[in-house]
Chain A
Amino acid sequence: MAEIEESQAQRDAIAVDRTKGDFKYEENYAFDAGIGLSAKVVDYISNVKGEDAWINEFRQKALKVFNDLPMPTHWATEDLKNIKFDEIRYYLSKGQKASRTWEEVPDDVKETFERLGIPEAERKFLAGVEAQFDSEAVYSRMKDEMSKLGVIFCGPTEGLRDHPEIFRKWFGKVIPTGDNKFAALNSAVFSGGSFIYIPKGVKVAQPLQAYFRINAENFGQFERTLIIADEGSEVTYMEGCTAPKFETATLHSAVVELVALKGAKIQYITVQNWSANVFNLVTKRGVAEEDAEVRWIDCNIGSRLTMKYPGVVLRGKRARGEVLSIALANDGQHQDTGAKMIHAADDTSSNIIAKSISVGAGRSTYRGLVHIPKTLRNCKNNTECDALLINEHSRTDTYPAISVRGQKNSVQHEASVSKVSAEQIFYMMQRGLTEGEAMSLAVNGFVNDLVKEFPMEYSVELKRLIELQMEGSVG
């Protein structure tokens, strides 16, 4: 079986020699869609999953759209051209993932696990050594508790098969297939992810953790998530974890759709730390009906290129949308992130706070879109985007697009670029901090007000993660 081929740069980025033949897929064709993308591959995925005909049609249409849409390099980075779609495996079922031994995991990855205090069993999973640890147990416990409340918490296959009356109505509606090339790709080959329904008035106290669910399912390279919060319900969903996930797959393209019906609240928290070979191209959008609230908390660290602009369509009166995002671009990484707020009803309000940190030759880009048409009244948007540059080679760009019409609406936009100065570093080092500690303190200070919004365990981990990133960045 052929190995996944990668460019030299990608191999270097994670410093693993994959030519040695250690990364084998088991030769079990029954669960292997092969390499490359075609109508046959899409049929194969549908078959394996036992999907209804309409889903297969949905996938096939999406494949056509994907093939027809050009790569968005007229506005986005040329690096997208380096994705080799013909060399990617679009579907691997359980047991078909690349496997390796603990000895083969790079030392720096092991050390990071050590420093983050990640339990032994979990380390092996994260390093791709073991397919799963006790996620299944954690997930099934969580699932049992949720079903008592009438909450549905499953994957897209089960969601569309067992509860079509709930999920079909919104599936692909918040983010239509043609939204962008990568949303189309996801629509064609999606597998894994979470489908969640929160019944009317149910307030889920504990955050739902995708981590265990998706681990139990053993993967989501093309995750598809749809969360529907029925009237007056509340839910917090947490995706990802702060440990670096050591991936063999280089392309991740997820689609996440949120639907907050009248008076509902959805908070979606992502903390992602991809390995440096990953293209992470994600479409995330929520709809907020009357008096509803959608809040994205998004933290992106790592990856070769991340493109992600969580959005909220404020469709009902008094709906609220919020995006709080932190992006950290280290050497050789490009974080192209931002937010979209589409106001479509009176008295809606939105808030965007985006902070980016560029370290070494890292690059961060903010793209924002705020749209308030002139027919609306009393709409408000506040946008703040702050960039912090750590040294001379770092780069940051800001592309805000704000179209606000009408006399009755208000918008505030603030942007800042700051640098950690040599004098600041000297001052902190004079107090006994190493250069790395001084940098991470400055960075933590910069994101401090945003991190407070994170759940406790995430903010602590995030702080440690920033420390690790900064320590590695000084000579």
Chain B
Amino acid sequence: MPDSLVIKNLNASIGDRAILKDFSLTVPKGEVHAIMGPNGTGKSTLAKVLAGHPDYTVQSGEAFIDGEQIIGQEPDAIARAGLFLAFQYPSEIPGVTIANFIRAAIVARQAKGAPFDAKAYYAELYAKMDALKMDRKFTARFVNEGFSGGEKKRCEILQLMMLKPKYAVLDETDSGLDIDALRIVSEGVNRLRGPDMGFLVITHYQRLLEYIVPDRVHIMYDGRIVHSGDKDLALELEAKGYDWVKKDLASA
């Protein structure tokens, strides 16, 4: 299917442990889909497998970005094909400033040898930092080094805003955020919503979805989607708790 992130019958494992079990999901471009589910159900694994993490083995299944197969590709090729992953635990890169890091990521997307417009880059970077209420001094800080949880997540969203992927997977972006940071980060995501980008928002709590209102909500359990609905499903899940998922949905 063009103009969609399509995941078909994906089976993936780490070591001997099967985690994704015949997982299927389609996120049309322009929509925000949320995946909720209890801990250990495979949500973060899904994010990493889509991004091509080398620790995971895909046994079978496919995933497409606007018709382009991404399973089996290198992480950087998947990224350049248009998938962005906002990490739950972003790595520190000592000595590399945020400005240089994002710049390198942009240059990696350009044709080899194409000129880089530094002036336009900084203008855009500063505008997006303002939107995320980040101090401009931040550009000179080393990527994620000594950042608070909230700063790390803001930095992820800043990269998302600068790199403008076709699809963004947000892995537990709400974890470690206080309410103010949550609002700012959500505003950043909401600004990006539009016909050119699709979102897969992975979260354990309903709280984030009050700020980033999803078009669809999927409940994941034991490596697959067990139930889908509209935004109200998140509220229902909040009210009934994950026991409901385990008892009623998983056996259905």
Binding site for B on A (CB under 8 A): 418, 421-424, 426-435, 437-438, 441-442, 444-449
Given the known interface contacts A424-B93, A427-B91, A445-B95, the answer about A432 and B109 at a Cβ–Cβ threshold of 8 Å is: yes
Which residue from A421, A441, A448 sits with its C-beta under 8 Å from B104? A441
Chain A facing B: main interface SS:
helix
| 18 more A-B residue pairs beyond the given contacts A424-B92, A441-B93, with a C-beta to C-beta distance below 8 A | A421-B91, A424-B91, A426-B54, A427-B93, A428-B93, A429-B75, A430-B78, A431-B159, A432-B80, A432-B105, A434-B76, A435-B76, A438-B76, A441-B100, A441-B101, A441-B104, A446-B95, A447-B95
CA distance A435 to B93 in the complex (A): 14
Distance in Å: Cβ of B51 to nearest Cβ of chain A: 5
**B142 in contact (CB, < 8 A):** yes
Residue-wise interface mask of B (60-100) relative to A, using a CB-CB cutoff of 8 A (1 in contact, 0 not): 00000000000000111011100011010011111110001
**B14 in contact (CB, < 8 A):** no
**B108 in contact (CB, < 8 A):** yes
Nearest chain-A residue to B159 (Cβ)? A431
| B90, B95, B159 — most chain A CB neighbours (10 Å) | B95
CA distance A449 to B95 in the complex (A): 7
Check B75–A448 contact: CB distance below 8 A. no
**B53 in contact (CB, < 8 A):** yes
- CB contacts between A and B, total, < 8 Å: 81
Given the known interface contacts A431-B101, A433-B108, the answer about A426 and B75 at a Cβ–Cβ threshold of 8 Å is: yes
CA distance A36 to B89 in the complex (A): 61
Check B90–A427 contact: CB distance below 8 A. yes
29 contacts between A and B (CB under 8 A): A422-B55, A423-B91, A426-B53, A426-B91, A427-B90, A429-B79, A430-B75, A430-B79, A430-B85, A431-B101, A431-B104, A431-B105, A431-B159, A432-B108, A433-B108, A434-B76, A434-B108, A435-B74, A437-B108, A438-B76, A441-B93, A441-B96, A441-B100, A441-B104, A442-B93, A444-B95, A445-B95, A446-B95, A449-B95
Query: Number of B residues contacting the other chain (C-beta, 8 Å)?
Result: 31
Residues of chain B within 8 A of A437, CB atoms compared = 76, 104, 108
Nearest chain-B residue to A436 (Cβ)? B76
**B192 in contact (CB, < 8 A):** no
Residues of chain B within 8 A of A431, CB atoms compared = 79, 101-102, 104-105, 108, 159, 163
Residues of chain A within 8 A of B142, CB atoms compared = 445
Check B94–A445 contact: CB distance below 8 A. yes
Residues of chain A within 8 A of B51, CB atoms compared = 426, 430
Check A445–B75 contact: CB distance below 8 A. no
Distance in Å: Cβ of A67 to nearest Cβ of chain B: 47
Nearest chain-B residue to A450 (Cβ)? B95
Distance in Å: Cβ of A134 to nearest Cβ of chain B: 28
Distance in Å: Cβ of B224 to nearest Cβ of chain A: 24
CA distance A429 to B91 in the complex (A): 12
Distance in Å: Cβ of B31 to nearest Cβ of chain A: 22
Residues of chain A within 8 A of B95, CB atoms compared = 444-449
Distance in Å: Cβ of B57 to nearest Cβ of chain A: 15
Check A442–B80 contact: CB distance below 8 A. no
CA distance A421 to B94 in the complex (A): 12
Residues of chain B within 8 A of A430, CB atoms compared = 51, 75-76, 78-79, 84-85, 87
CA distance A435 to B55 in the complex (A): 15
Given the known interface contacts A430-B85, A431-B108, A431-B163, the answer about A444 and B96 at a Cβ–Cβ threshold of 8 Å is: yes
Residues of chain A within 8 A of B100, CB atoms compared = 441
CA distance A441 to B94 in the complex (A): 10
CA distance A432 to B101 in the complex (A): 11
Distance in Å: Cβ of B89 to nearest Cβ of chain A: 8
Distance in Å: Cβ of A36 to nearest Cβ of chain B: 48
Check A446–B94 contact: CB distance below 8 A. yes
